[in-house]
Structure 1
Amino acid sequence: MTDVVEISPQSWEYRLVAAVVYAVEQRAGGRGGPRTRWNGRVLEETDPENLGSAHADGSISVSVANVLDQLRKARDLDRPLTDDEAWLLRDAMDTLTHEAAHLMAPGGDMTAPEAYPYDDAAAASDEGRVEQWTKRNLDNIISDVFTDAGLDKVEAAVLAQPGLDAYAAFTPAARLLDRALAERSGLTSAQVTQKLLCADDAQRWNVAVDLVIDEHLAEPGLMPESHRAEVRKQLVAPLRESLSVLAAVEGDESLGSDQKAEEGTKAAQNAIAGLDSALNRIERKYRIDNAQRARQQAQRPASRVNQAVRRAQGNLPPDLKRLRALTAPQAPASGATRRPVEATDHAPVEQGEGSRPRGQQATRPTGGPRQPHSPQRD
């Protein structure tokens, strides 16, 4: 077993690494945002195949020969850098930034509910996203730390160098996936990348699909919150399945960078298509179910509604019941006949010969003895 060698905290190299970690923290987490889980230890990288590593305990290991020595030599150089030297410095800073960015993610609890293992699919997504974030922010990180580190005289030459993806298949896949998540969540691609960069390793898949769930399914009355865990599973599944093939692609030395990038793009497209298919199926089901429930409620029998009203009236407080009794209309006595005001007791008279039309005033005869009628003779 190789002994662990720790870089002295009093050294220039340690201070440079610490400055990079702090710059990454500020760029990725922002003021008052997430902090890295760096434990303050910088170790010498013992694997000759690796330029650097971020460890589960929060420490960083860095290749002394290929990273730290290159930066120290540039600090002490009294001549302009060659293009090759400038490119090596950029690659060294890329390594430090990449490993520091890994530490923005909290250590995941693989035994927690809904946790996912750090398998091939997770590695493809994580490494690709960290590399994407690094490429997007590397120039700023270099500018943040070079002056205080005494490297300001070589800064322009380093910034002029092109970048190189360390993960030719992973990076385009993560870039395309984050862009798709942004389009389906209302966020920018940079915001999605930052959220997932700082997400718990074991929960990162859930955080990714939550962005889509919150935009499409979380409206009031659509998806019950108790269904979220199951919906997450259905949306995560096509992402993991599609990206899991990229580990073999990335490790295939017979493939060139362009071929790996093409495979990475294809895998991401398959992942997005699977996500969309699952999302559309789930959303359609919820909307149809909700429409059916609304229609059934609208068609409830009126008697059920009346029963509900009567039950509500029966549950009135005593004070309201007495008030309701006092203000209710009084029913007529038994046997009484209700009539309109000013009605007469006379039955209507049929009009015949010599009768008066209704409404015509009658003339009463004046008082005095009446004359008897004489019988009329034939």
Structure 2
Amino acid sequence: MADLSHPLGPEVPPGHPAHEWVQRIVHAVAQRTGRPTSWNGRLYEEPSYAAMATARPDHSLAGGVDDVIRPLQNAATAGRYEAFPLRAAVAAVAHEAIHLSSEYGDGASDAEVGEVALDEGLTEAWTLANVDGVLTDIGMDRQVPSIVSQHTVDSYPTYTAATNELTRGLSEASGMPPDQVRDHLLNTPRSERWNAAADLVIDGQLGGQLHPEDRAELRKHLVPEMRGGFEKLPAVQWGYDLDTEKAAQGQQIGQQAIEGLKATTGRLQAQYTQSPGQPLSPAPDRPPVYVTENSGRLEAPPPLPVSTEPKRSMQELMAAQREKAKAPLNVLDGQAPASGAVSKPAAPQAAPNAVRPTGPQQDKGGRSVD
């Protein structure tokens, strides 16, 4: 997420070419989503060291001078070499406009990490699918014809890939086309999106057998299968892998979430068929991971394993450790390690960047895509 504590640059006044283009983009997004925007009409320069674009808590917008303001300002004279950065500027503003046409507060301190990952994935997936339409709506395809042949960089490859897998899986379960699943979730308040996703499965797979009072319990079984996978995504997204590798990992995590969802749905269907009218067994308690001010992640520790070994005194434990230290190391002695032993330590995983709770996220190039 972008750090919104830095001071903004000067305001870009109405009538300025960049302001006019931003106004057109925001209007086009609102028309395409069918949701009114909360943009207050104010546009500011974003410092070049901060983010490409941000949606601010006061419902204003800010754009990087080099990444957004200047490309839009010079759109009237842009040629084929300016088409790529110009398209990126439009995509950045469109992404932020999506956030301003839905529930604001995706960076709130009580936001789950999984909720934020899903929100960014849905928003970026919509942007990638609709940027050409937005360019047509605002007339930029006629202003700069070569802009429609340019590639749009996915600013959240991990989140987008996982979200696409989720929407495909929910599409299969509900019979609703994937793009409609995506838009349905975008139209749902952020805090209710996991329940809305679970309801698609419940109504599509269990609707004919469902007891109305069981819906809340069914959600408790289905939501953790999806949310648990998305809680793993920030560590990948903010790691140091190439974007293609991030996308592959995001796709795999999304597929695993769908497989878990299918297995749980099948188990619930069997329980309904074999034991109609019987109460469902309680869902396992899997506390969510939350966005926090300092570390970006705060998660309940896993339960301690229950040991079946007899308790030993401290002296006995220390003696056992001394004997273990005396044992020769096979690898150092040139012998093959014992079966099942680890001969090479696993490479440390890259830690996710700190996530701030008060605003949108930014990509590796400094552009906020929230």
Scaled by the length of structure 2, the TM-score of the pair is 0.68
| Pair 1:243-2:230 in alignment | yes
Of 12-21 and 94-103, deviating more is 12-21
Match of 2:87 among 86, 90, 106: 90
Letter in structure 1 aligned against 2:27: Y
2:265 to 275, 279, 283: 279
User: Among 228, 231, 244, which residue is 2:215 paired with?
Assistant: 228
* 3-state secondary structure, aligned to 2:191: coil
Q: Corresponding residue for 2:30?
A: 25
Distance in 1, matches of 2:41 and 2:216, equals 36
Which residue, out of 121, 125, 128, partners 1:128? 121
* TM-aligned CA deviation for residue 2 of structure 1: 4.2
Tell me, which stretches of 5 or more residues in structure 2 are unaligned?
280-370
DSSP-derived class of the 1:282 partner: helix
Aligned counterpart for 1:138 among listed residues 131, 142, 156: 131
What residue number does 1:311 align with?
A: none
Give the letter aligned to residue 89 of structure 1.
Answer: L
In structure 2, how many angstroms separate the alpha carbons of the residues matched to 1:163 and 1:66? 14
Alpha-carbon distance change, 70 to 47 in structure 1, aligned in 2, over 3 angstroms? closer
Shift of 1:60: 2.3
* Matched residue, 1:11: 16
Q: Is the 8 A contact 1:117 1:202 kept in 2?
A: no
The percent identity for this pair of structures is 34
2:68 — aligned with what? 67
Structure-2 residue corresponding to 1:55: 56
Matched, 1:176 2:165: yes
Which whole-Å deviations, capped at 9, do the CAs of 1:72-123 have from their partners, x for residues lacking one? 123145xx332xx211111111101111112232246999xxxx95232222
Are 2:157 and 2:246, in contact at CA under 8 Å, matched by a contact in 1?
yes
CA distance 1:110–1:223, change in 2 (3 Å): farther
2: CA distance between counterparts of 1:110 and 1:262? 26
- Contact between 1:135 and 1:163, CA under 8 Å: does it hold in 2? yes
For the Cα contact (< 8 Å) 1:110–1:202, is it kept in 2? Answer: no
Counterpart secondary structure, 1:20: helix
Q: Which residue, 161, 174, 196 being the options, matches 1:185? A: 174
Question: Which stretch has the larger CA shift, 11-20 or 191-200?
Answer: 11-20
> In the TM superposition, what is the alpha-carbon distance from 1:227 to its structure 2 partner?
2.2
After superposition, residues 1-378 of structure 1 pair within 5 angstroms as 2-4=6-8, 5-29=10-34, 34-46=35-47, 48-77=49-78, 80-82=79-81, 85-107=82-104, 117-146=110-139, 152-154=142-144, 156-219=145-208, 222-253=209-240, 255-290=241-276
AA matched with 1:173: A
Question: Are the structure 2 counterparts of residues 68 and 122 from structure 1 closer, same or farther at C-alpha, using a change threshold of 3 Å?
Answer: same
**1:239 counterpart letter in structure 2:** M
CA contact (8 A) 2:226 2:258 kept: yes
Paired residues, what number? 274
The structural deviation recorded for 1:141 is 0.2
- Show structure 1 runs of 4+ deviating over 4 A: 108-111
- Structure showing greater relative contact order (alpha-carbon pairs closer than 8 Å, 6 or more residues apart): 2
Q: Take 2:104 and 2:88, find their aligned partners in 1: how far apart are those partners?
A: 27
Task: Write the letter of the residue equivalent to 1:285.
Answer: Q
Code of the residue aligned with 1:225 in structure 2: it is: P
On the 8 A contact 2:11/2:42 being kept in 1, the answer is yes
SS in 2 for 1:283: helix
Shift of 1:188: 0.4
CA positional deviation for 1:194 = 0.8
Decide whether aligned partners of structure 1 residues 230 and 39 sit closer, same or farther in structure 2, where only a CA change above 3 A counts: farther
User: Partner amino acid for 1:152?
Assistant: R
Once the 2 structures are TM-superposed, how far is the Cα of residue 287 of structure 1 from its aligned partner?
2.3
CA distance in 2, matches of 1:40, 1:226: 45
Per the alignment, residue 310 of structure 1 pairs with none
Residue 51 of structure 1 aligns with an amino acid whose one-letter code is: M
In structure 1, the residue matched to 2:290 is: none
What amino acid sits opposite 1:92 in the alignment? A
Greater Rg, structure 1 or structure 2? Answer: 1
Deviations 1:142-186 (A, max 9, x none): 111135xxx7331x1111111211112111111111111111111
The gaps in structure 1 that reach 5 residues or longer are 294-378
Task: For 1:248 and 1:24, locate their aligned partners in 2 and report how far apart those are by CA, in whole Å.
Answer: 30
1:3-26 deviation line (CA, Å, top 9, x unaligned): 444332343322221211111111
Q: Which amino acid aligns with 2:22?
A: V
Equivalent residue number for residue 356 of structure 2:
none
